[in-house]
Each structure stands twice: as C-alpha cells, then as structure tokens.
Amino acid sequence: MKLSVLIPCYNEIETIREIVARVRAVEIRLRVRDGRFNLPVAHDGAVELVVEKEIIIVDDGSTDGTRAILPDLAALPDVFIYYHARNMGKGAGVRTAIEKATGEIMLVQDADLEYDPRDYPALIQPIIENRSQVVYGSRFLGGPRKAMFFTHMLGNKLLTLFTNILFDTILSDMETCYKVFTRRVAEQLHLKSHGWGFDPEITAKILKRGHRIYEVPISYTGREYNEGKKISWRDGLTVAWTLLKYRLFE
C-alpha cells in the first residue's frame, strides 16, 4: 500500500526542506481488521499494515530561490520533483502531482508548516478500513491548534456552510488543506481549476459523484501574513462562485 503525498509549491524557500523532512519522518503503521491484506494476524484478529510513502513536489514557477533547493531534495529516494515553467496556481500544481503519483491513496500537503504530517495515520485509516474513499482533516473538530484570525475563521465557516447548503452535507472545514482520496476517486474528478478554485472544485465534484466525505480532527499552526500567509477576501469570492458553478452548471 502506497501513499502519494502531493505538495504544490510556490515561493516556499523558508519551509520546503523542513516540510519534506517532516513528511519523510512519519511512519504509518496501522492496525487493521481486513482480509484484503495477506499479513500475519495478531491474537485480536488485527494485522499491522505499513504504508509506504512517495513525495511528489510540483514547483509552480517559484522565483524566491526555492528552485535552487529542489535538486538536493530530488536526490532523496522517495522524493520526485516536477516544474511548471510559470506560476499557474495551487490547483494546477495538484493536478500535475496527481498525474505523476503512483500511490493507491493521495494526500494534499501544503509546502508551508501549517499542517502536521503526524496526522497522516488518522487521515488514511478510514480509507484503509473501507469506511470512505475520501477523508478531510478538519481544524474545527477539537484538535490542537494555534488561534487563527477571526476573519479567516468566519470566512471559512461561511464558505463551509454554503457548501453544506448546496450539496446537502455537514462538513466542518471545506477549505482544509488535508484532502485525502483514493486513486479511483482522483481518476473520476477531471479537475480544471488553477488557483484557489481547487478546494471548492474538488469538494463539489466529490459530493456530486455521491461520495460522502469522512472528517477527522487534525492539528493546525496557522501562519501570520509576515510569515507568508497569502489568502485574502477576494479568494473567498472565487471559492463561493466555484461552488455555485459546479453545483448548478457542471
């Protein structure tokens, strides 16, 4: 079983080495009760499944020196680097990463340090146990977190509420980075969005295809604007319009 960690990267010279180190450091060992796995069975009927990882980094036209670092990372045996000739947006980076990934499960990981790869086992366990083909890591289900800006929290809540109304669901964090899905789901989606439209597009298409999203609590350490935070209220308008477009017209 292999997990493909998809890292779209744009101007992350301060964090790209560290996030790769954190992802590589995580060991994913899960105790599962599933006859699909030809592994020794413990006295309680469970097996220990060790999940292999590959890291797919797509540099989206970085101009801050990130590209000078990436060849060193590419020398690592489980890290694979791809480049966009120009900046195209997070969605384009994720699409390229999906095309290159070889794992049965895929997980989107931002290149900053806001999200903690130590949450990976909890994120993929529901998929391994066949409870769902899609899992979102929610920042609002009681996990440890650094206090975020009130305006960001409010905007997230409003966009998530809009998603729930449009698609008859009860998500708590539609805009989370941690979106995890099987290869089968990825092949159904035919994603198109380049920038901030990625999160609403993938959520809308997952829900329209009848998949119910499983949420698990995660930890979160939000960045300040002086640390590279990029989102603004204009991005919220893009998200809202994308949700409406895919609900009503596509």
- Domains annotated for the chain, with CATH where assigned, are 2-248 (3.90.550.10)
Q: What is the mean pLDDT of the chain?
A: 89
Q: What predicted TM-score, i.e. pTM, was given to this entire model? A: 0.89
Mean pLDDT of 174-181: 96
Contacts 24+ apart (CB under 8 A), 230-238: 231/152, 231/196, 233/151, 233/155, 235/195, 235/196, 236/155, 236/158, 236/159, 238/195, 238/196, 238/197
Contact by Cβ (8 Å): 135, 42: no
Structure tokens at 63: 């101009």
Tokens 């020794």 belong to 40
Nearest-angstrom CA–CA distance, 96 and 75: 20
Tokens 């905007």 belong to 155
| 26 three-class SS | coil
Mean pLDDT of 142-154: 76
Mean pLDDT of 119-145: 93
